[in-house]
Chains A and B, each alone.
Chain A
Amino acid sequence: MNSATILLVEDNPDDVALTLRALKSHKIGNEVVVLEDGEQALDYLFGSNGGTAADDLPALVLLDLKLPKVTGLEVLQHIRADERTRVLPVVVLTSSGEERDVVESYSLGANSYVRKPVDFLEFTEAARQLGLYWLILNRAPGGNRPG
């Protein structure tokens, strides 16, 4: 489909595997960069920990909230605070159905909030819709439009 990368920040390897499978099962062939915690995500995006920022920003960030070191919400905060990544589509993908997480995520500028269902079939359906919407239908402002 296109080569734009998807950044998946997820510490649970099972969830990583299932997410990747869900994406794949819907023919979403974008390269998926998987990072295990918030710190890595910040390094990847901003090169803040001595490393260098990736040249190309991902087309979509799938962000878990409960992450080691730096939480998902903190990562989201950084993304929205930086001019470069201000409009980067970020979908919060988490186990939590807690309302305060939903509210906080949206108020920090998450584009979408998806609660990972227990039922895997439901999950793959959610992944399909995410890919369809954020990678194909949606046009982000600025130069990094998905393709």
Chain B
Amino acid sequence: MTLRDWPIRRKLTAILLLVSALVLLLTSAAFVTYEVVTFRQATLKNLATLGRLIAANSTASLAFANQADAQEILGALKAEPHIIAAALYDQKGHVFARYPTNLPESDLPLEPGAVGYRFEQTAVIGVEPVLELGSPRLGTLYVKSDLTEVSRTLRLSAAIAAGVMAISLLAAYFLSRALQGQISEPVLTLANVAKAVSAHQDYAVRAPALGSDELGTLTDAFNHMLSRIQEQAGALRESKERMDLALRASGVGTWSWNAGTNAIIWDDFVHPLFGLAPGMFSERYDDFLVLVHPGDRERVRKEMGEAVVSGAPYRTEYRVVWRDGTERVLAAGGRLHRDAGTPTAQLTGVCWDVTERYRLREELQRYATELEQRVAERTRELEARAEELRRNSTALVAANEELDAFAYSVSHDLRAPLRSIDGFSQVLLEDYGTQLDEPGRDALRRVRAATQRMGMLIDDLLKLSRLTRGELRAEVVDLSAMAQSITAELQKTAAERRVEVTIRPGLEAHGDPRLLQVALENLLGNSWKYTAKQPRARIEFTATEENGSRVFLVRDNGAGFDMKYVNKLFGVFQRLHSGAEFDGTGVGLATVQRIITRHGGRIWAEGAVNKGATFYFTLAGHAAAGPEAS
């Protein structure tokens, strides 16, 4: 473990100890040095004092060359155990006395040397002149002290220094241990929190706040950062959840293709689109292309390549073939991402299944085609039918023209001979009546009556045929007013008749006034005719409502008819009464029916013999309404 990797706790301790040790070492060195220097000075001083004392004491012995005295004086040095050698030199420089007395000559220098006290290698040497005031130098004292004292002192100092150092370091160690927590604890806490956050992705934890120093600021900043991360992580998670939800719901998968490594990453939603279970895709681009329908493969490769080169949005649709042979259609879209610093581009996008849409489109196309064919077919049919109708209508026009010609011809040519028959019968009656007997004249009269009746029949027939031709005009017709004028006219033709006519005023209808006039003339004329034998004749024109439509009715209390012949009422030339009883041609009701039918209406009748008849009719588009004000 290198220093960098040490825990901060150990680092702090080490630093503290190192600094303490350095300080202590320097202090101790200074202390020891001081001790040694001081001691050496003291040693020199003591030696000098001793030397001077002995030298002073030795003057007499030297002066008097009393060797025994000199020996005795030097022998006093026994009291000083560290003096290992001493000698007195005479004026001539010969050893006069020595200490210890058995000291070999070799241990003494030949000459005492320069005066003074000095340290030599293993000893302190002192040379002191022996002087007498007012007299020349008597001799020289040589003293030699060993250094045991010095080294003892040195050892003691060193021991003391070492002891102090040891105790100080120990104290420093324990002190640092006690105090380093102030710094290391918050840092460690932060570190632990950070570790917990990254380990559990739990952005809810917070480092405990500690003071307001830099560490406190750091903790606050860290906590703030955590809250921001927590918020963003929450937002990110939420948006991812939403996206996942959306993707899952819509069956959209996301993918990305790294053009550099040629790797394709699919999410779990893409796999089923290719008929694969999640994780079953090799994530190789080439394997992806294999899954694409051979017919679309080259195109997809080209499109994706172009998207990477151009950076334009990628959007395409292609078929894929599943392992089981199922063919699906996918839509894919993506965008190019080029991360700063990375040379390779990454195409990222989505894809989803559009098979149903495709099938629907195809189905629609098929339907459209089918429809077109059907329309074309129907058009051909219609054209054929139209052509047929045109032919028919041409034929109809031709038939109508023929009918017209026929009617015209009837009108002219059929009546002309009748006129001749009638005319010449009359001529016979007028000019030759006298030559005929009564039966003869009667016969001629019958000829004339029949002729005239035939004329009437022809006229009625012509009228009837005319009704089927010509345009139908439609306007508002006041039927009440029409009925009023018709009955007034009828009254004029038979002034002697007393008929109670009741007409509901304000009955209006949409229709052709000319034809409706004919219809009403016939209906009211019939009523007028068939009530002729009724002393209290009553004729009524009114309307009722039936199933929401207006029903007009003409009612009388005349001769009526037997309901079992009701179906014959409206037939041409059908008559329920003999000509002797009531004259008529039997065309009237047929005419009325044709008019009502042409108006899109309906006519029917009720009646009983001698109890009168009621004719009901409707006209198309005639919804019931309240009685209009007249």
CA distance A120 to B427 in the complex (A): 9
- Chain A residue contacts of B422, Cβ below 8 A: 118-120
| Contact A14/B420 with A98-B411, A118-B415, A119-B455 known, Cβ cut-off 8 Å | yes
Given known A-B contacts A116-B419, A118-B419, A123-B419, A14 and B412 have beta carbons under 8 A apart: no
Give residues 108-125 of A contacting B (CB, 8 Å): 116-121, 123
Determine the distance from Cα of A96 to Cα of B427 in the docked complex, in whole angstroms: 23
Given A14-B420, A15-B420, are A121 and B415 also a contact pair (CB < 8 Å)? no
- Smallest CB separation, A36 vs chain B (Å): 14
Q: Separation in Å of the A126 CB from the closest CB of chain B?
A: 12
A96 and B407 CA atoms in complex are apart in Å by: 10
Contact A117 B423 (CB under 8 A): no
Known: A117-B455, A118-B455, A121-B426. A18 touches B411 (CB 8 A): no
> Which B residues from 386 to 414 make CB contacts under 8 A with A?
407-408, 411-413
Cα(A52)–Cα(B426), bound, Å: 39
Asked if residues B419 and A120 are in contact (CB atoms below 8 Å), the reply is yes
Inter-chain contacts of B423 with A (CB < 8 A): 14, 17-18, 21, 120, 123
A97: which B residues are within 8 A, CB to CB?
A: 411, 459, 462
What's the Cα separation between A92 and B455 when bound, in Å?
20
Contacts of B426 in A (CB 8 A): 120-121
Taken residue by residue from 52 to 73, chain B's Cβ proximity to chain A (1 for < 8 Å, 0 otherwise) reads as 0000000000000000000000
- Point out the residue from B412, B418, B420, B424 that lies within 8 Å of A66, measured CB to CB: B412
Given contacts A118-B451, A118-B455, contact A96 B412 (CB under 8 A): yes
Is A95's beta carbon under 8 Å from chain B?
Answer: yes
CA distance A21 to B455 in the complex (A): 21
Q: How far is the CA of A117 from the CA of B427 in the complex (A)?
A: 16
Say whether A40 faces chain B, with CB atoms less than 8 Å apart: no
Is B534 part of the contact surface with A, judged by Cβ < 8 Å? no
Residue in A21, A65, A66, A95 whose beta carbon sits within 8 Å of that of B419 in the complex = A95
Whether the Cβ atoms of A95 and B416 lie closer than 8 Å is: yes
Q: Is B91 among interface residues, defined by CB-CB distance under 8 A?
A: no
CB < 8 Å neighbour of A96 from B408, B420, B448: B408
Whether the Cβ atoms of B462 and A14 lie closer than 8 Å is no
Whether A15 lies near B408 (C-beta < 8 A) is: no
Chain A residues lying within 8 Å of B413, measured Cβ to Cβ, are: 66, 95
Residues of A within 8 A of B452 (CB): 118-119
User: Is A105 in contact with chain B by the CB < 8 A criterion?
Assistant: no
Separation in Å of the A97 CB from the closest CB of chain B? 6
Residues of B within 8 A of A121 (CB): 426
A71 shortest CB reach to chain B, Å: 11
Chain A contacts of B407 at CB under 8 A? 98
Within 8 A of A (CB), among B271-291: none
A97 vs B411: C-alpha distance in the bound complex, in angstroms? Answer: 7
Residue contact A96 to B419, C-beta cutoff 8 Å? no
Which residues of chain B have C-beta atoms less than 8 A from A117's C-beta?
A: 419, 455
In the complex formed, the residue of A with least CB distance to B455 is A118
Tell me whether A95 and B412 are in contact in the complex, defined as CB-CB below 8 angstroms, given that A119-B422, A120-B419 are known contacts. yes
CB-CB contacts below 8 Å: A59-82 with B = 65-66
CB under 8 Å from chain B, chain A span 11-46? 12, 14-15, 17-18, 21
State in angstroms the CA–CA spacing of A2 and B417 once bound together: 33
B residues near A123, Cβ cutoff 8 Å: 419, 423
B412 surroundings in chain A (CB, below 8 A): 65-66, 94-96
Is the CB–CB distance between A118 and B418 below 8 Å? yes
Is B411 in contact with A14, judged by CB distance below 8 angstroms? no
| Residues in A whose Cβ lies below 8 Å from that of B455 | 117-119
Q: Nearest chain-B residue to A99 (Cβ)? A: B466
Contact partner, A12, options B416, B425, B427, B459, Cβ 8 Å: B416
Which among B407, B417, B422, B459 has the highest number of chain A CB atoms within 10 Å? B422
Q: Is the CB of B408 within 8 A of A18?
A: no
Across the interface, name the chain A residue whose C-beta is closest to B431.
A21
When the two chains form the complex, which single residue of B408, B424, B459, B466 contacts A14, counting CB atoms closer than 8 Å? Answer: B424
Minimum Cβ distance to chain A for residue B414 (Å): 8
For B415, list chain A residues within 8 Å (CB): 95, 116, 118
Query: What is the bound-complex CA distance between A121 and B459, given in angstroms?
Result: 18
* 0/1 interface trace, chain B 452-496, chain A, CB 8 Å (1 if under): 101100010010001000000000000000000000000000000
Specify which chain A residues have a CB less than 8 angstroms from the CB of B417 in the assembled complex: 14
Cα(A87)–Cα(B396), bound, Å: 42
- Residues of A near B420 (CB, < 8 A) are 12, 14-15, 18
Chain B proximity of A51: nearest CB distance (Å): 28
CA distance A98 to B454 in the complex (A): 18
In whole angstroms, what is the CA distance A94 to B418 when docked?
A: 14
Contacts of A118 in B (CB 8 A): 415, 418-419, 422, 451-452, 454-455
* B453, closest chain A residue (CB): A118
| B425 neighbours in A (Cβ, 8 Å) | 120
The closest CB in chain A to the CB of B409 belongs to: A66
Listed by A's residue number, 13 A-B pairs whose Cβ atoms lie within 8 Å are A14-B417, A15-B419, A18-B420, A21-B427, A95-B411, A95-B413, A95-B416, A116-B419, A117-B419, A118-B451, A118-B452, A120-B419, A120-B425
Residues of chain A touching chain B, judged by Cβ–Cβ distance below 8 Å, are 12, 14-15, 17-18, 21, 65-66, 94-99, 116-121, 123
The 8 lowest CB-CB distance pairs between A and B, nearest first, are A118-B455, A14-B420, A120-B423, A18-B423, A120-B426, A95-B412, A95-B415, A118-B418
18 additional A-B residue pairs with CB within 8 Å, beyond A18-B423, A118-B419: A15-B416, A15-B420, A18-B427, A66-B412, A95-B412, A95-B415, A96-B411, A97-B459, A98-B407, A98-B411, A98-B462, A118-B415, A118-B452, A118-B454, A118-B455, A119-B452, A120-B425, A120-B427
